[in-house]
């Protein structure tokens, strides 16, 4: 694998075969570890934490919600541990399907790519719509569709200028969300022990009295914790965006492992800390009826203008997730085209290394998804949302399976494990445990009427992708196609 000018050669590539080598393209390596961390946090921290965390507490109970998020964080750690080794071995943009293509098979890579692309395209429409609705708090006379177009244009421009501009914008978007969560943890944590300097009422210390509900520590039984844990897996989706950005990261052997470790640690502190504070302050029976638990906690501790502050933070969270999603969609199309599985035009880059055609198509399809949510919510949009929800766990399963087969192939072809810049620990137990937990969550969806539609539409979509690939390329596909062309720059 030939490094870019001025870039260190990566020590952990597989032996030099057409089946395992991926040439680096002209996407520019301009992002640092801090950008990767905030991109991952930007993809993970969305409206779910700010708006739906009260519902999570009502389903699992205060203590159960914390346990569910700890389980989710553990699974994220397992996936990230597998992702680290792969992202350094294949530091290319939109890399999930590259991992699967080289380690499992081209058909699996093809399916993984289209699942992940569809996941984020559908998300784009919902992020724009929700942002427009929230803006009506301040501008009730401006229609929602106009805000959707404005936000779509802003995110398109941030992505179209350069990868570094995108990364910088995502850094500041994510920073707003992180500051809000840290403020909740610090101020709410102090309020739990009776310290509320901003409040005029100065409520007494409540400690953890709200953890004991009329139904005990687990008011809906431990099954409520398990069902909530399934939803928490989806809540942590976006952490894998580090792999998508690997092809545009400086010194990936150094920055990717650093970003992975920092991301997992921050997610545990931010998510579990926020849930613990909310569960301690909000009475269990009130948790599910609040519009935003963050607003209630901030009002409890005496923060002025709490509703307006949180409206701004939630809009920022939505735009941040949309920004990361659009970046991911464009890179996935670019990478698919390089493999010969999407139109070659998607490989064309601007002078600053941005896949502008892939970016343009992604934003347009995102807006089409938004349109279907209005005119075909019970049919087309339901199918899209169901497949997108299924895609999150399916892609994680692809990542951990890819690492398992990648390491096995690496050793078989003479690789020295001790020379790897980053090694997935406890191999092969770790990827096996991760895959088993993820598979269990897929099976458990069948018993949850609120999520079973993900299986009804997700499994047929996966089967259709495999069948199409085999019909178009044969069972073995064309593993060497990435050697046959280079990305072409276009003027911008």
pLDDT score, position 139: 92
Kindly state the tokens that stand for 403.
């690492």
Helix (H, G, I), strand (E, B) or coil at 26: coil
In contact, 394 and 465? CB cutoff 8 Å:
no
- Greatest pairwise CA separation for the chain in angstroms: 71
Distance CA 24, CA 30 (A): 14
Kindly state the tokens that stand for 65.
């919600």
pLDDT score, position 288: 62
Query: If you search the block for the tokens 């199409």, which residue do you land on?
Result: 468
pLDDT score, position 230: 65
Q: What does the pLDDT look like over 85-121, one tens digit per residue? A: 888 877 765 567 888 888 898 899 899 989 888 888 8
Check residues 11 and 49 and name the one with the higher pLDDT. Answer: 49
Distance CA 173, CA 191 (A): 27
pLDDT band, very low/low/confident/very high, at 175 (cuts 50, 70, 90): confident
pLDDT score, position 447: 76
Distance CA 430, CA 82 (A): 8
Check pLDDT > 90 for residue 20: no
pLDDT score, position 243: 66
Distance CA 365, CA 361 (A): 6
CA-based end-to-end distance of the chain: 29
Distance CA 83, CA 218 (A): 34
Q: How far is CA 214 from CA 207, 222, 279, 296, in A?
A: 17, 15, 15, 22
DSSP code for 342:
S
Helix (H, G, I), strand (E, B) or coil at 31: strand
pLDDT band, very low/low/confident/very high, at 402 (cuts 50, 70, 90): very high
pLDDT score, position 489: 41
In contact, 337 and 125? CB cutoff 8 Å:
no
Residues near 371 by Cβ (< 8 Å), separated by ≥ 6? 125
Give residue 274's Cα distance to chain centre. 19
DSSP code for 242:
H
Check residues 41 and 468 and name the one with the higher pLDDT. Answer: 468
**Mean pLDDT rounded to a whole number for the chain:** 79
Helix (H, G, I), strand (E, B) or coil at 40: helix
In contact, 412 and 246? CB cutoff 8 Å:
no
Residues near 127 by Cβ (< 8 Å), separated by ≥ 6? 46, 151, 318, 319, 321, 322, 325
Check pLDDT > 60 for residue 26: no
Q: Which of 392, 387, 393 is nearest to 454 (CA)?
A: 387
Average pLDDT value for residue range 2-7 = 36
Q: Percent of the chain having pLDDT more than 90?
A: 17
Distance CA 332, CA 338 (A): 10
pLDDT score, position 398: 94
DSSP code for 2:
P
Query: If you search the block for the tokens 């087969």, which residue do you land on?
Result: 405
Please return the burial class of 443, using the count of CB atoms within 10 Å of its CB with bins 0-12, 13-18 and 19+: exposed
Distance CA 151, CA 368 (A): 15
ω into residue 389 within 30 of 0, thus cis? Answer: no
Distance CA 124, CA 46 (A): 12
Distance CA 107, CA 467 (A): 9
pLDDT score, position 476: 63
pLDDT band, very low/low/confident/very high, at 6 (cuts 50, 70, 90): very low
pLDDT score, position 477: 60
Q: How many CB atoms lie within 10 A of CB 468?
A: 15
Check pLDDT > 80 for residue 365: yes
Q: How much is the pTM?
A: 0.81
Q: What does the pLDDT look like over 36-73, one tens digit per residue? A: 666 677 667 776 677 767 777 877 888 888 888 888 88
Helix (H, G, I), strand (E, B) or coil at 46: coil
In contact, 47 and 129? CB cutoff 8 Å:
no
Angle between helices 163-192 and 293-301 (to 10 degrees): 50
């Amino acid at each position: 694998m030939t490094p870019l000018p001025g870039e260190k050669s990566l020590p952990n590539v597989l032996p030099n075969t057409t089946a395992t080598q991926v040439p680096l393209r002209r996407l520019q390596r301009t992002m640092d570890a801090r950008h990767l961390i905030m991109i991952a946090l930007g993809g993970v921290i969305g409206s779910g934490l700010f708006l739906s965390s009260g519902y999570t507490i009502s389903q699992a109970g205060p203590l159960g919600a914390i346990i569910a998020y700890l389980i989710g964080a553990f699974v994220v750690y397992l996936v990230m541990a597998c992702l680290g080794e792969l992202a350094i071995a294949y530091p290319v943009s939109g890399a999930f399907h590259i991992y699967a293509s080289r380690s499992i098979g081209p058909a699996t890579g093809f399916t993984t790519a289209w699942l992940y692309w569809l996941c984020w395209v559908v998300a784009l429409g919902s992020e724009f719509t929700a942002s427009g609705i929230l803006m009506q708090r301040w501008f009730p006379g401006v229609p929602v569709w106009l805000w959707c177009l404005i936000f779509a244009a802003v995110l398109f421009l941030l992505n179209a200028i350069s990868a570094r501009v995108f990364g910088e914008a995502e850094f500041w978007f994510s920073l707003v969300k992180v500051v809000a969560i840290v403020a909740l943890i610090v101020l709410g944590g102090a309020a739990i022990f009776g310290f509320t300097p901003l409040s005029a009422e100065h409520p007494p210390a409540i400690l953890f009295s709200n953890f004991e509900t009329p139904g005990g520590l687990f008011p809906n039984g431990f099954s409520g914790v398990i069902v909530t844990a399934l939803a928490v897996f989806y809540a942590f989706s976006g952490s894998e965006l580090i792999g998508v950005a690997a092809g545009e990261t400086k010194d990936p052997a150094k920055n990717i492992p650093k970003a992975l470790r920092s991301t997992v640690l921050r997610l545990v502190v931010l998510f579990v800390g926020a849930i613990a504070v909310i569960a301690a302050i909000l009475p269990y029976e009130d948790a599910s009826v609040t519009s935003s638990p963050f607003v209630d906690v901030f009002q409890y501790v005496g923060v002025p203008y709490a509703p307006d502050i949180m409206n701004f933070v939630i809009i920022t969270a939505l735009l941040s997730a949309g920004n990361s999603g659009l970046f991911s969609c464009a890179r996935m199309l670019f990478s698919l085209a390089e493999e010969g599985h999407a139109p070659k035009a998607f490989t064309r880059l601007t002078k600053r290394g941005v896949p502008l055609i892939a970016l343009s198509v992604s934003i347009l399809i995102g807006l089409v998804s938004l349109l279907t949510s209005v005119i075909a919510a019970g049919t087309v949009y339901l199918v899209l949302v169901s497949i997108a929800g299924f895609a999150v766990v399916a892609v994680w399963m692809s990542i951990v399976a890819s690492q398992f087969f990648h390491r096995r192939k690496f050793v078989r072809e003479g690789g020295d494990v001790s020379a790897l810049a980053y090694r997935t620990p406890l191999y092969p137990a770790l990827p096996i445990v991760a895959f088993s937990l993820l598979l269990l969550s897929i099976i458990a969806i069948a018993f949850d009427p609120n999520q079973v539609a993900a299986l009804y539409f997700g499994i047929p979509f996966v089967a259709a992708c495999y069948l199409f690939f085999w019909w178009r390329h044969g069972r073995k596909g064309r593993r060497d196609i990435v050697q046959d062309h280079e990305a072409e720059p276009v003027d911008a």
